[in-house]
Amino acid sequence: MNFHDTRETRDPEARERELLARLPAQIAHARAAAPAFGRLLADVDPDSVTSRAALATLPVTRKSELLELQKAARPFGGFSAVGWGATCRRVFASPGPLYEPEGARPDYYRLARALFAAGFRAGDLVHNTFSYHFTPAGSMLETAAHALGCTVFPAGVGQTEQQLAAIADLQPNAYVGTPSFLRILLDKADEIGVPVSFAKAFVSGEAFPPSMREAFAARGIAAFQAYATADIGLIAYETPAREGMVVDEDVLVEIVRPGTGDPVAAGEVGEVVVTTFNPDYPLIRFGTGDLSALMPGISPCGRTNLRIRGWMGRADQTTKVKGMFVHPGQIAQVLRRHPEIRRARLVVDNPGLNDRMTLMCEVAGGGSEALAGAIAVSIRELTKLRGEVAFLPAGALANDGKVIDDVRSYR
């Protein structure tokens, strides 16, 4: 069988209907069981949220905000629906620290689907080099491998020579971890003359450029990647088609304009916002802070879900100008005041070491002095800083999700 289950190849419209049909109950559950969502969604009628348009009216809770919310109400900021005990098997601390609960369900983070697409099967011995200390990555991949019927060697990170000794003894055929640590293991193995038995690899946690993938392939290792977070679990995963990443079957993914909750047009780069159907940690419109874009069409591998282009940078482009923070949300407010602007980017430079802001605006018809003056007034009112305005023709700005581009140099 080429697919983890039949859900991966179902009719896209049937999938969309099923996800949207599940949405009201999840929103109702989040309101009732997670105090933070009880407050955030107090005025929302869950039964009315049955479309993506309705979902887009709900507030976005961003990962960048979650740290302060958790500090105010430890451990989970009121976003978890479970407490200590049988329903919460483990609790992890990601850098920040951000605390995440792990429930008791098998394959809690839903990563078995991604491992299957990477060629992992029952009977594999998986050398898991993700950390088992504090952060959830080790557990995320171990529970996924167990769900497929794999055996796991919990290697963790570091101790390269001891890891290679275990590899020589146990002969694992599969690697899980960061691509950079796999390269370290291979280089060290070459140095000391130890054979490495890996035939497949699942990598995540950092950039995985094609050059590195090809280098692993030259060593006989087929390596695949996925996009997952400690809060959400699996979001999207690579398949043998090697064309973007296919979205997981149990999340609703939106791409929104950074600093807002407004969905962007298909193909436009924006922030990845995810709604999960996890009953223990029911995150509704969770802003990951990562940039990506939807891809058109269906994957040649036969999986029919939406595809994203993978990780394309960070959406939180907040910068400090003359001692004042400027946020993407403020630039979005400027655009709302002036619908003539089709797309805009705030460029921050410092000629003569003096900070300067220029809002580059794509405007139909080339703009006017009156419009430039009105936009400048809005910039001043919303950021408390002076900003210049420059008009550009449609399509002049790159489709890369940048709202604020800090190009200052201090040389």
Please report which confidence band the pLDDT of residue 411 belongs to, taking 50, 70 and 90 as the band edges.
low
Residue 71 neighbours by CB under 8 Å, 6+ apart: 77
Q: How is domain 319-406 classified at the CATH fold level?
A: GMP Synthetase; Chain A, domain 3 (3.30.300)
- From residue 287, give the alpha-carbon distance in Å to each of 209, 271, 282: 25, 7, 13
pLDDT tens by residue, 276-315: 999 999 999 999 989 999 999 999 999 999 999 988 888 8
CB 23 within 8 A of CB 49: yes
pLDDT tens by residue, 34-47: 999 999 999 999 99
SS3 of residue 55 by DSSP: helix
Residue 55 neighbours by CB under 8 Å, 6+ apart: 23, 49, 252, 254, 275, 285
| Closest-CA residue to 343 (of 326, 366, 360) | 360
Quote the CA–CA distance of 343 and 293 in Å, as a whole number.
16
Helix axes 328-337, 369-383, angle to 10 degrees: 140
What global pTM score does this model have? 0.86
Burial class (CB in 10 A: 0-12, 13-18, 19+), 183: middle
SS3 of residue 217 by DSSP: helix
Quote the CA–CA distance of 88 and 85 in Å, as a whole number.
6
Q: What is the mean pLDDT of residues 370-399?
A: 94
Structure tokens at 51: 């479309």
SS3 of residue 175 by DSSP: strand
Q: What is the pLDDT of residue 286?
A: 97
Architecture of domain 6-308: 3-Layer(aba) Sandwich (3.40)
CB 226 within 8 A of CB 234: yes
Q: Is the pLDDT of residue 323 over 80?
A: no
Q: Domain map of the chain by residue range?
A: 6-308, 319-406
* Rounded to 5°, angle at Cα 366 from 362 and 371: 85
Centroid of chain to Cα 388: 33
Q: What is the pLDDT of residue 235?
A: 98
pLDDT tens by residue, 2-11: 999 999 999 9
pLDDT tens by residue, 116-167: 999 999 999 999 999 999 999 999 999 999 999 999 999 998 899 999 999 9
* Helices (runs of H) and strands (runs of E) counted in the chain: 11, 21
Q: What is the mean pLDDT of residues 369-378?
A: 96
